[in-house]
């Protein structure tokens, strides 16, 4: 079998909770196979292998270096704490392995650029693991918001990404409770999605300015537990509002409001169901005579998918890797998306640092 037709052989460094879904996706996809894993200790890696019913053919490595150095590994998924992303991302790229990185990209843009430059220098594919971008529902929504007759000029993009975690966790947990390792807290873990959704709706054009709102809550160790921010597009006066929090129950809302129509969904990051997803589309809404009701109800648009969004993600990644093996250059689109998201995230953090004042991009 030609090398470009063989399944992409993955290694995983860091057997965290975040690794479970991508591991499952790698095993489900015929385009990929799992070759090796490592974690903070060999025992932890063995426990992960048992808990996730990994095939006996998967190597349990004693260190991350062992995975990165393995000549039989084509690509590496890196779900280590964000404070270690730059170190291991560069290490993977320097060994000419393709890199699938857990989000957020890095602790800041400077650290992310080290990774992206290493990937470019070594001719390897980069992608961050923002799964919802790969769901066919996302493509269907893009069709609607790109049609000026349907949604039209966008005035507001509103997102929430929240998940309740007891405050005590952030006082004691390592590394989440240590600002030196996870400085961004909810902004990095959850706000990444909201920032990405605003950028996606605006065709990944950067906003003119970013301002954190003064509703910030931090733990006693300095981890951001809750935050909101405004992204302003001066040219067409679009406003994006993101809210991310560890202090509220689970929400994943995205609303896009245009001059002619609007979209709404409550599960944009992770669909309620694995095999299908939906959103509400409302077009040309107005009050009926004497303001006794509405002239239309939201239309439910359902998108059926054969496999989950994480499988679609690893299959797109594998397709790009196979293309590189056949002589094509890496697709820089995913690096550019990640870099822009990181830039806006850094701007939110900067606005928080300077007292919730406006940061111009």
The verdict on 111 and 149 lying in the same domain is no
The pLDDT of residue 2 is 52
The pLDDT of residue 1 is 47
Q: Contact, 267 vs 159, CB < 8 A?
A: no
The CA-based diameter of the chain, rounded to the nearest angstrom, is 73
The verdict on 143 and 46 lying in the same domain is no
| CATH code of residue 205 | 3.30.360.10
The pLDDT of residue 174 is 45
- As a whole number of Å, the CA-based R_g of the chain is 21
**Residues 6+ positions from 269 with CB-CB distance below 8 Å:** 131, 132, 161, 193, 252
Buried residues in 335-356 as b, exposed as e (16+ CB within 10 A): bebbbbbbbbbbbbbebbeeeb
Q: Contact, 196 vs 187, CB < 8 A?
A: no
The verdict on 142 and 24 lying in the same domain is no
The verdict on 15 and 43 lying in the same domain is yes
Instruction: Tell me whether residue 336 is in a domain.
Output: no
What single DSSP character describes residue 307?
A: S
Mean pLDDT for each 10-residue chunk of the chain (361 residues)? 77 92 97 97 95 96 97 97 95 98 96 98 98 98 97 97 90 55 83 98 98 94 94 97 97 98 98 96 94 94 96 98 98 98 98 97 96
- Which position has the token pair 């280590």? 80
The pLDDT of residue 171 is 75
The verdict on 113 and 154 lying in the same domain is no
Buried residues in 89-101 as b, exposed as e (16+ CB within 10 A): bbbbbebebbbbb
The pLDDT of residue 220 is 85
Instruction: Please give the tally of structural domains in the chain.
Output: 2
Instruction: Tell me whether residue 334 is in a domain.
Output: no
The verdict on 125 and 139 lying in the same domain is no
**155: region left, alpha or beta (phi > 0 left; psi from -120 to 50 alpha):** alpha
The pLDDT of residue 27 is 97
CA 91 – CA 114 distance, rounded (Å): 11
**Domain containing residue 67:** 3-130+310-329
**For the chain, first and last CA: distance in Å?**
49
DSSP secondary structure of 212-225: E-S--EE-TTS-EE
The verdict on 234 and 255 lying in the same domain is yes
């Amino acid at each position: 079998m030609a090398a470009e037709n063989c399944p992409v052989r993955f290694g995983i460094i860091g057997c965290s909770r975040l690794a479970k879904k991508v591991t499952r996706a790698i095993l489900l996809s015929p385009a990929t196979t799992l070759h090796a894993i490592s974690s903070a200790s060999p025992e932890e890696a063995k426990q992960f292998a048992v808990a996730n019913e990994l095939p006996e053919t998967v190597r349990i490595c004693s260190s991350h270096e062992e995975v990165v150095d393995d000549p039989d590994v084509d690509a590496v998924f890196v779900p280590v704490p964000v404070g270690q992303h730059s170190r291991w991302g560069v290490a993977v790229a320097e060994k000419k392995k393709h890199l699938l990185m857990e989000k957020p990209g890095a602790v800041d843009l400077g650290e992310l650029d080290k990774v992206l430059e290493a990937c470019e220098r070594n001719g390897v594919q980069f992608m961050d693991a923002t799964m919802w971008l790969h769901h066919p529902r996302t493509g269907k929504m893009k069709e609607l918001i790109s049609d000026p007759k349907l949604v039209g000029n966008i005035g507001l993009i509103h997102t929430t990404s929240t998940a309740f975690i007891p405050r005590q966790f952030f006082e004691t947990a390592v590394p989440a409770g240590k600002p030196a390792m996870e400085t961004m807290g909810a902004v990095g873990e959850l706000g990444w999605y909201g920032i990405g959704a605003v950028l996606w709706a605006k065709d990944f054009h950067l906003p003119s300015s970013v301002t954190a709102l003064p509703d910030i809550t931090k733990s006693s160790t300095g981890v951001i537990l809750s935050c909101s921010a405004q992204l302003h597009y001066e040219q067409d006066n679009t406003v994006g509002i993101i809210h991310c929090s560890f202090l509220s129950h689970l929400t994943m809302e995205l609303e896009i409001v245009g001059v002619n129509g609007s979209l709404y969904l409550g599960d944009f990051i992770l669909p309620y169901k694995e095999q299908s997803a939906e959103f509400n589309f409302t077009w040309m809404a107005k009050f009926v005579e004497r303001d006794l009701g509405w002239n239309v109800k939201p239309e439910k648009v359902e998108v059926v998918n054969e496999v989950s969004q994480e499988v679609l993600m690893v299959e797109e990644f594998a397709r790009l890797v196979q293309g590189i093996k056949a002589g094509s250059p890496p697709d820089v689109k995913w690096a550019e998306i990640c870099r822009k998201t990181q830039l806006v995230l850094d701007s939110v953090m900067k606005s928080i640092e300077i007292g919730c004042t406006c940061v111009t991009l």
